[in-house]
Homo-oligomer: A and B are copies of this chain.
Protein backbone atom coordinates (compact mmCIF):
# COMPACT_ATOMS: atom_id res chain seq x y z
CA UNK A 1 0.00 0.00 0.00
CA UNK A 2 2.43 2.61 -1.22
CA UNK A 3 0.74 5.83 -2.18
CA UNK A 4 3.41 8.23 -0.94
CA UNK A 5 4.57 9.40 -4.34
CA UNK A 6 4.93 8.11 -7.87
CA UNK A 7 8.66 8.46 -7.35
CA UNK A 8 8.72 5.65 -4.80
CA UNK A 9 7.69 3.20 -7.50
CA UNK A 10 10.25 1.12 -9.39
CA UNK A 11 11.47 1.42 -12.95
CA UNK A 12 9.41 -0.23 -15.64
CA UNK A 13 10.90 -3.52 -16.92
CA UNK A 14 11.11 -2.26 -20.49
CA UNK A 15 13.28 0.60 -19.29
CA UNK A 16 15.56 -1.81 -17.50
CA UNK A 17 15.82 -3.83 -20.67
CA UNK A 18 16.69 -0.74 -22.65
CA UNK A 19 19.45 0.09 -20.19
CA UNK A 20 20.83 -3.40 -20.50
CA UNK A 21 20.71 -3.18 -24.25
CA UNK A 22 22.50 0.16 -24.25
CA UNK A 23 25.28 -1.28 -22.14
CA UNK A 24 27.42 -2.55 -24.93
CA UNK A 25 30.76 -1.32 -26.13
CA UNK A 26 32.09 2.18 -26.32
CA UNK A 27 29.87 5.13 -27.07
CA UNK A 28 30.59 8.83 -27.39
CA UNK A 29 29.82 10.68 -24.21
CA UNK A 30 28.11 13.95 -23.26
CA UNK A 31 25.07 13.60 -25.48
CA UNK A 32 26.81 12.56 -28.67
CA UNK A 33 25.43 9.03 -28.46
CA UNK A 34 23.41 7.65 -31.38
CA UNK A 35 20.41 6.85 -29.20
CA UNK A 36 20.09 10.54 -28.41
CA UNK A 37 19.70 11.20 -32.11
CA UNK A 38 16.77 8.86 -32.11
CA UNK A 39 15.31 10.49 -29.02
CA UNK A 40 15.56 13.88 -30.65
CA UNK A 41 13.63 12.61 -33.64
CA UNK A 42 11.08 10.86 -31.46
CA UNK A 43 10.37 13.98 -29.47
CA UNK A 44 10.23 16.21 -32.53
CA UNK A 45 7.81 13.88 -34.23
CA UNK A 46 5.70 13.53 -31.15
CA UNK A 47 5.40 17.28 -30.79
CA UNK A 48 5.13 17.99 -34.54
CA UNK A 49 8.04 20.32 -33.93
CA UNK A 50 10.83 19.53 -36.39
CA UNK A 51 13.06 22.35 -35.14
CA UNK A 52 12.64 21.83 -31.43
CA UNK A 53 15.76 21.46 -29.34
CA UNK A 54 15.63 18.45 -27.04
CA UNK A 55 17.80 17.82 -23.99
CA UNK A 56 17.86 15.28 -21.21
CA UNK A 57 18.56 15.83 -17.55
CA UNK A 58 18.06 13.57 -14.58
CA UNK A 59 15.81 15.49 -12.21
CA UNK A 60 12.69 17.56 -12.46
CA UNK A 61 14.22 20.40 -10.46
CA UNK A 62 17.08 20.58 -12.94
CA UNK A 63 14.67 20.60 -15.88
CA UNK A 64 12.56 23.36 -14.37
CA UNK A 65 15.36 25.55 -13.08
CA UNK A 66 17.36 25.35 -16.31
CA UNK A 67 14.26 26.02 -18.39
CA UNK A 68 13.26 29.03 -16.33
CA UNK A 69 16.77 30.48 -16.23
CA UNK A 70 17.05 30.18 -20.00
CA UNK A 71 14.00 32.36 -20.48
CA UNK A 72 13.87 34.62 -17.42
CA UNK A 73 16.55 37.22 -16.66
CA UNK A 74 17.87 37.67 -13.09
CA UNK A 75 15.61 40.72 -12.67
CA UNK A 76 12.56 38.87 -13.95
CA UNK A 77 9.50 37.60 -12.15
CA UNK A 78 8.33 34.02 -12.55
CA UNK A 79 4.55 33.80 -12.27
CA UNK A 80 3.30 30.52 -10.91
CA UNK A 81 0.66 28.95 -8.74
CA UNK A 82 1.13 29.22 -5.01
CA UNK A 83 1.32 25.43 -4.68
CA UNK A 84 3.69 24.87 -7.57
CA UNK A 85 6.71 22.64 -7.20
CA UNK A 86 9.11 25.41 -8.26
CA UNK A 87 7.79 27.59 -5.43
CA UNK A 88 7.43 25.03 -2.70
CA UNK A 89 9.61 21.99 -3.30
CA UNK A 90 12.88 22.93 -4.98
CA UNK A 91 14.74 24.75 -2.23
CA UNK A 92 15.01 27.84 -4.37
CA UNK A 93 16.53 26.12 -7.41
CA UNK A 94 14.79 28.52 -9.84
CA UNK A 95 16.10 31.52 -7.94
CA UNK A 96 19.57 30.02 -7.90
CA UNK A 97 19.70 29.15 -11.57
CA UNK A 98 18.07 32.38 -12.70
CA UNK A 99 20.55 34.51 -10.75
CA UNK A 100 18.10 35.78 -8.16
CA UNK A 101 14.79 35.98 -10.00
CA UNK A 102 11.61 36.44 -7.98
CA UNK A 103 8.72 33.98 -7.93
CA UNK A 104 5.36 35.69 -7.76
CA UNK A 105 2.64 33.32 -6.73
CA UNK A 106 -0.98 33.27 -7.71
CA UNK A 107 -3.60 31.47 -5.71
CA UNK A 108 -6.46 29.64 -7.37
CA UNK A 109 -8.73 26.74 -6.65
CA UNK A 110 -7.50 23.21 -7.16
CA UNK A 111 -3.97 24.21 -8.02
CA UNK A 112 -4.90 26.18 -11.11
CA UNK A 113 -4.21 29.80 -11.98
CA UNK A 114 -7.16 31.66 -13.38
CA UNK A 115 -6.43 33.94 -16.33
CA UNK A 116 -7.86 37.00 -14.62
CA UNK A 117 -5.67 36.44 -11.58
CA UNK A 118 -2.61 36.03 -13.74
CA UNK A 119 -3.42 39.27 -15.50
CA UNK A 120 -3.89 41.03 -12.20
CA UNK A 121 -0.56 39.74 -10.95
CA UNK A 122 1.24 40.87 -14.08
CA UNK A 123 -0.09 44.40 -14.18
CA UNK A 124 1.89 45.99 -11.33
CA UNK A 125 5.22 45.12 -12.95
CA UNK A 126 4.30 45.89 -16.52
CA UNK A 127 5.19 49.57 -16.50
CA UNK A 128 8.84 49.48 -17.42
CA UNK A 129 9.69 50.91 -14.03
CA UNK A 130 13.31 50.33 -13.09
CA UNK A 131 12.50 50.03 -9.40
CA UNK A 132 10.67 46.75 -9.75
CA UNK A 133 11.55 43.36 -11.13
CA UNK A 134 10.20 42.91 -14.63
CA UNK A 135 7.65 40.43 -15.97
CA UNK A 136 9.77 37.39 -16.77
CA UNK A 137 7.96 34.16 -17.51
CA UNK A 138 4.76 32.29 -16.67
CA UNK A 139 5.17 28.73 -15.40
CA UNK A 140 2.21 26.37 -15.60
CA UNK A 141 2.23 22.98 -13.90
CA UNK A 142 0.30 20.25 -15.67
CA UNK A 143 -0.78 17.93 -13.96
CA UNK A 144 -1.10 20.51 -11.16
CA UNK A 145 0.10 19.89 -7.63
CA UNK A 146 -3.52 19.29 -6.64
CA UNK A 147 -3.92 16.51 -9.18
CA UNK A 148 -6.08 18.54 -11.51
CA UNK A 149 -5.36 19.05 -15.18
CA UNK A 150 -5.43 22.11 -17.40
CA UNK A 151 -7.11 21.51 -20.75
CA UNK A 152 -5.35 22.97 -23.79
CA UNK A 153 -7.74 25.89 -23.98
CA UNK A 154 -6.98 26.75 -20.39
CA UNK A 155 -3.27 26.69 -21.19
CA UNK A 156 -3.91 28.85 -24.23
CA UNK A 157 -5.80 31.40 -22.16
CA UNK A 158 -2.90 31.76 -19.72
CA UNK A 159 -0.31 31.91 -22.48
CA UNK A 160 -2.32 34.56 -24.31
CA UNK A 161 -2.05 36.79 -21.26
CA UNK A 162 1.66 36.17 -21.02
CA UNK A 163 1.92 37.21 -24.67
CA UNK A 164 -0.02 40.39 -23.91
CA UNK A 165 2.72 41.26 -21.48
CA UNK A 166 5.48 40.18 -23.82
CA UNK A 167 6.73 37.23 -21.85
CA UNK A 168 7.16 33.49 -22.57
CA UNK A 169 5.57 30.45 -20.96
CA UNK A 170 7.04 27.36 -19.35
CA UNK A 171 5.23 24.14 -18.58
CA UNK A 172 6.31 22.00 -15.66
CA UNK A 173 5.22 18.66 -17.06
CA UNK A 174 6.58 16.37 -14.38
CA UNK A 175 3.40 14.40 -15.01
CA UNK A 176 2.96 15.47 -18.63
CA UNK A 177 1.85 12.05 -19.85
CA UNK A 178 -0.88 11.98 -17.23
CA UNK A 179 -2.10 15.39 -18.35
CA UNK A 180 -2.24 14.24 -21.95
CA UNK A 181 -4.12 11.10 -21.07
CA UNK A 182 -6.55 13.05 -18.94
CA UNK A 183 -7.40 15.46 -21.72
CA UNK A 184 -6.82 13.46 -24.85
CA UNK A 185 -4.83 16.37 -26.21
CA UNK A 186 -1.85 15.93 -28.50
CA UNK A 187 1.55 16.93 -27.17
CA UNK A 188 1.63 19.80 -29.66
CA UNK A 189 -1.78 21.05 -28.65
CA UNK A 190 -0.87 20.92 -24.98
CA UNK A 191 2.29 22.93 -25.55
CA UNK A 192 3.44 25.11 -28.42
CA UNK A 193 0.12 25.26 -30.19
CA UNK A 194 -1.28 26.74 -27.00
CA UNK A 195 1.67 29.07 -26.46
CA UNK A 196 4.19 27.12 -24.41
CA UNK A 197 7.80 28.01 -25.22
CA UNK A 198 9.66 25.48 -23.14
CA UNK A 199 8.57 22.24 -21.52
CA UNK A 200 9.87 20.10 -18.69
CA UNK A 201 8.78 16.74 -20.00
CA UNK A 202 8.79 14.33 -17.09
CA UNK A 203 9.68 10.68 -17.18
CA UNK A 204 10.94 9.71 -13.73
CA UNK A 205 7.54 9.78 -12.04
CA UNK A 206 6.09 7.65 -14.85
CA UNK A 207 8.38 4.64 -14.86
CA UNK A 208 11.86 5.89 -15.71
CA UNK A 209 14.85 5.69 -13.42
CA UNK A 210 15.86 9.34 -13.68
CA UNK A 211 15.21 11.21 -16.91
CA UNK A 212 13.34 14.35 -17.80
CA UNK A 213 13.48 15.93 -21.22
CA UNK A 214 13.51 19.64 -21.82
CA UNK A 215 11.86 20.61 -25.08
CA UNK A 216 12.62 24.08 -26.42
CA UNK A 217 10.36 24.99 -29.27
CA UNK A 218 12.52 27.90 -30.42
CA UNK A 219 15.97 26.48 -31.21
CA UNK A 220 17.53 29.93 -30.88
CA UNK A 221 17.69 29.26 -27.14
CA UNK A 222 19.32 25.86 -27.49
CA UNK A 223 22.96 26.82 -27.09
CA UNK A 224 22.32 28.89 -23.99
CA UNK A 225 20.45 25.96 -22.51
CA UNK A 226 23.35 23.64 -23.25
CA UNK A 227 25.78 25.93 -21.51
CA UNK A 228 23.51 26.30 -18.51
CA UNK A 229 23.06 22.54 -18.30
CA UNK A 230 26.80 21.91 -18.37
CA UNK A 231 27.50 24.71 -15.93
CA UNK A 232 24.86 23.33 -13.59
CA UNK A 233 26.62 19.95 -13.58
CA UNK A 234 23.69 18.33 -15.39
CA UNK A 235 25.40 17.11 -18.55
CA UNK A 236 25.97 13.39 -18.12
CA UNK A 237 29.17 11.84 -19.41
CA UNK A 238 27.61 8.39 -19.96
CA UNK A 239 24.66 10.09 -21.54
CA UNK A 240 23.56 7.01 -23.47
CA UNK A 241 21.86 5.71 -20.34
CA UNK A 242 19.62 8.75 -20.22
CA UNK A 243 18.93 8.43 -23.93
CA UNK A 244 18.11 4.76 -23.66
CA UNK A 245 15.48 5.38 -21.01
CA UNK A 246 13.73 8.12 -22.94
CA UNK A 247 14.02 6.14 -26.15
CA UNK A 248 12.24 3.15 -24.66
CA UNK A 249 9.75 5.36 -22.86
CA UNK A 250 8.55 6.86 -26.11
CA UNK A 251 8.58 3.61 -28.04
CA UNK A 252 5.25 1.98 -28.79
CA UNK A 253 3.54 4.60 -26.65
CA UNK A 254 4.78 3.00 -23.47
CA UNK A 255 4.73 6.40 -21.76
CA UNK A 256 1.07 6.93 -22.55
CA UNK A 257 0.10 3.44 -21.50
CA UNK A 258 1.78 3.89 -18.15
CA UNK A 259 0.04 7.19 -17.59
CA UNK A 260 -3.27 5.78 -18.66
CA UNK A 261 -2.86 3.11 -16.04
CA UNK A 262 -1.89 5.43 -13.21
CA UNK A 263 -4.73 7.78 -14.11
CA UNK A 264 -7.17 4.89 -14.07
CA UNK A 265 -5.88 3.86 -10.69
CA UNK A 266 -6.25 7.44 -9.44
CA UNK A 267 -9.78 7.56 -10.70
CA UNK A 268 -10.67 4.28 -9.07
CA UNK A 269 -9.11 5.28 -5.77
CA UNK A 270 -10.91 8.59 -5.82
CA UNK A 271 -14.27 7.05 -6.45
CA UNK A 272 -13.83 4.48 -3.73
CA UNK A 273 -12.81 7.09 -1.20
CA UNK A 274 -15.73 9.32 -2.03
CA UNK A 275 -18.00 6.39 -1.41
CA UNK A 276 -16.69 6.07 2.12
CA UNK A 277 -18.64 7.55 4.97
CA UNK A 278 -17.16 10.74 6.41
CA UNK A 279 -14.60 11.08 3.63
CA UNK A 280 -14.49 13.65 0.87
CA UNK A 281 -12.40 14.28 -2.18
CA UNK A 282 -10.80 17.72 -2.01
CA UNK A 283 -9.90 18.36 -5.64
CA UNK A 284 -11.18 16.85 -8.86
CA UNK A 285 -9.14 13.71 -9.52
CA UNK A 286 -8.16 14.40 -13.09
CA UNK A 287 -5.12 12.19 -13.11
CA UNK A 288 -3.19 9.96 -10.71
CA UNK A 289 -3.07 12.12 -7.59
CA UNK A 290 -5.90 12.04 -5.08
CA UNK A 291 -6.54 14.52 -2.29
CA UNK A 292 -8.99 13.39 0.32
CA UNK A 293 -10.23 14.40 3.72
CA UNK A 294 -10.35 11.40 6.03
CA UNK A 295 -11.17 11.01 9.72
CA UNK A 296 -8.22 10.79 12.08
CA UNK A 297 -9.30 7.35 13.15
CA UNK A 298 -9.22 6.19 9.57
CA UNK A 299 -5.73 7.57 9.09
CA UNK A 300 -4.61 5.86 12.24
CA UNK A 301 -6.01 2.53 11.21
CA UNK A 302 -4.42 2.80 7.78
CA UNK A 303 -1.08 3.80 9.20
CA UNK A 304 -1.16 0.92 11.64
CA UNK A 305 -1.88 -1.38 8.74
CA UNK A 306 1.22 -0.10 6.94
CA UNK A 307 -0.34 2.19 4.38
CA UNK A 308 2.14 4.80 3.16
CA UNK A 309 0.96 8.23 2.05
CA UNK A 310 1.37 11.87 3.09
CA UNK A 311 -0.79 14.06 5.23
CA UNK A 312 -1.19 17.62 3.98
CA UNK A 313 0.90 19.55 4.77
CA UNK A 314 3.60 16.90 4.85
CA UNK A 315 4.56 17.88 8.40
CA UNK A 316 1.05 17.41 9.79
CA UNK A 317 0.63 14.71 12.42
CA UNK A 318 -2.23 12.53 13.49
CA UNK A 319 -1.78 13.89 16.97
CA UNK A 320 -1.30 17.45 15.82
CA UNK A 321 -3.72 20.35 15.45
CA UNK A 322 -6.58 20.41 12.95
CA UNK A 323 -10.15 19.17 12.94
CA UNK A 324 -11.50 15.67 13.07
CA UNK A 325 -10.85 15.27 9.37
CA UNK A 326 -7.28 15.48 8.12
CA UNK A 327 -6.39 15.91 4.45
CA UNK A 328 -4.12 13.44 2.73
CA UNK A 329 -2.39 13.10 -0.61
CA UNK A 330 -2.43 9.67 -2.25
CA UNK A 331 -0.51 9.08 -5.44
CA UNK A 332 -0.95 6.21 -7.83
CA UNK A 333 1.77 5.16 -10.22
CA UNK A 334 2.34 2.94 -13.23
CA UNK A 335 2.85 0.05 -10.82
CA UNK A 336 -0.21 0.54 -8.63
CA UNK A 337 -2.53 -2.45 -8.87
CA UNK A 338 -6.24 -2.91 -8.35
CA UNK A 339 -5.33 -5.03 -5.35
CA UNK A 340 -3.27 -2.20 -3.86
CA UNK A 341 -6.31 0.03 -4.02
CA UNK A 342 -8.73 -2.54 -2.70
CA UNK A 343 -6.41 -3.24 0.17
CA UNK A 344 -6.03 0.45 0.99
CA UNK A 345 -9.75 1.03 0.85
CA UNK A 346 -10.22 -1.91 3.20
CA UNK A 347 -7.98 -0.31 5.77
CA UNK A 348 -9.97 2.91 5.35
CA UNK A 349 -13.16 1.21 6.42
CA UNK A 350 -13.92 1.35 10.10
Contacts and interface: CB of A to CB of B under 8 A. Distances in A.
A59 B233 contact: yes
Contact of A74 (B65, B99, B241): B99
A8 B23 contact: no
Contacts of A236: 58-59, 210
Interface stretch (A89-97, A246-254, A341-349): A89-97
A251 to B, nearest CB: 19
Contacts of A63: 233
Contact of A204 (B2, B75, B237): B237
Nearest to A233: B62
B130 A230 contact: yes
A133 interface: yes
A102 interface: yes
B93 A230 contact: yes
Interface stretch (A24-32, A183-191, A264-272, A291-299): A24-32
Contacts of A130: 30, 91, 226-227, 230, 235
Nearest to A124: B313
A120 interface: no
Given A92-B231, A131-B230, A233-B232, A99 B102 contact: no
Interface size class of A (residues with CB under 8 A): 35 or more
A75 B227 contact: yes
Count identical subunits in the complex: 4
Interface in A9-43: 9-11, 16, 19-20, 23-30
A303 interface: no
A300 interface: no
Contacts of A97: 233
A53 interface: no
B93 A102 contact: no
A208 to B, nearest CB: 8
A92 B233 CA distance: 10
A299 to B, nearest CB: 19
Give the 3 A-B CB pairs with smallest separation, nearest first. A62-B233, A2-B26, A95-B100
Given A62-B234, A75-B227, A96-B99, 17 more contacts: A9-B26, A10-B25, A58-B236, A62-B232, A62-B233, A65-B233, A74-B92, A75-B231, A89-B132, A92-B100, A92-B133, A93-B232, A95-B100, A97-B233, A204-B238, A205-B237, A209-B241
